[in-house]
Amino acid sequence: MKIGYNGATAIKRSNLELDLELCEKYGFDFMELRVSILEDFFRNGGTVEKITGLFAKSKVKPHAMNACEFFNMKSGQEFEKIKEDFDKLCSLTSNLGSSLVLAAPTPGVNAPPEIIMDNTVDCLRHLSDIAATYGLNVALEFIGLPGFSVNKFDQAYSIVEKVDRENVGCVIDLYHFHINGSSVDDIRKADGKKIFMVHINDAEDRPAGTFDSDSYRLMPGDGVIATGEIFKALKSIGYKGIMSVELFNPKIWEWDPEMAIMTASLKSKQIINKYWDASM
């Protein structure tokens, strides 16, 4: 099983080049690129050519772009702008050597489930068409926080099934899976090939319904998420994708980046290797 690193984990005190250096030092296989980190890099004079040169010298490779945000439940004019921006994002993703673009649903939506389903399916088909011109995949990431239009795994997976495109699948983020009560049984019913990536992390022990942000995330194995049961279910359906560490904990943001990335690597490998061969 290959492991990836999402730059949100040490975003306050790190940067793209330092992330890459430390990911190689501590044995990550892939980096999940973040739009905000890339924007900072370009603002400071960086170029696409410089990024590709850095990765060409590294064992670590880019894997995914995070993310096309809040793409569904928009007006026609708003969605046209999203498609235009998504095309640019796909071009950048392709030029940087990644193969996957994540898509996050819109918060603050008050609509019947069937309307959300139909709209999200339609939007993802449009994004699928754009991504296909660049040879890319699109992964829908449900967000378990209050008010998000797609907030549980079974809902996201049903949308992906209805989209019915080879290049469209799901992301499972363990934190979002846990905080909104998604069911491991629903993973067992899924096709492992339609889960394109897993975000690994853990969560503080808090009552259901009190998770109002991402700030309660912990390092893998440090919290109460039933990670073992989720991993067993993923393994049972043949999941062979990447496990990418993603945290948004303000306390961890204050750590020295090397400590954060070293710890993320160590704790990820400890828990992943209980269920998968790390060489896969």
Residue 54 domain flag: yes
Radius of gyration of the chain from Cα atoms? 18
Residue with tokens 């699109």: 138
**pLDDT at 277 > cutoff 70:** no
SS3 state of residue 52: helix
Q: How far apart, in whole angstroms, are the C-alpha atoms of residue 280 and residue 268? A: 15
Residue 277 domain flag: no
Q: Find the mean pLDDT for residues 253-265.
A: 98
pLDDT digits (tens, 9 = 90+) for 228-257: 999 999 999 999 999 999 999 999 999 999
**pLDDT at 56 > cutoff 80:** yes
Per cent of the chain over pLDDT 70 is: 99
Domain membership of residue 30 as a residue range: 3-272
Query: Two tokens at 86?
Result: 């998504």
* CATH number of the domain to which 107 belongs: 3.20.20.150
Q: How far apart, in whole angstroms, are the C-alpha atoms of residue 157 and residue 177? A: 12
pLDDT digits (tens, 9 = 90+) for 118-157: 999 999 999 999 999 999 999 999 999 999 999 999 999 9
Residue 140 in contact with residue 170, Cβ under 8 Å?
Answer: yes
Residue 278 domain flag: no
Q: Find the mean pLDDT for residues 153-175.
A: 98
**pLDDT at 89 > cutoff 60:** yes
Instruction: Round to the nearest angstrom and report the end-to-end CA distance of the chain.
Output: 4
Considering only CA atoms, which of 139, 168, 169, 152 is closest in space to residue 68?
139
Query: Two tokens at 251?
Result: 């306390």
Q: Find the mean pLDDT for residues 38-66.
A: 97
107: DSSP letter: B
Q: How far apart, in whole angstroms, are the C-alpha atoms of residue 197 and residue 62? A: 13
Residue 279 domain flag: no
Residue 4, beta-bridge partner list: 30, 244
Q: How far apart, in whole angstroms, are the C-alpha atoms of residue 187 and residue 244? A: 18
Identify the band that residue 208 occupies on the pLDDT scale cut at 50, 70 and 90: confident
**pLDDT at 261 > cutoff 80:** yes
**pLDDT at 280 > cutoff 70:** no
Residue 155: per-residue pLDDT: 98
Number of structural domains in the chain = 1
SS3 state of residue 43: helix
Residue 207: per-residue pLDDT: 85
pLDDT digits (tens, 9 = 90+) for 90-127: 999 999 999 999 999 999 999 999 999 999 999 999 99
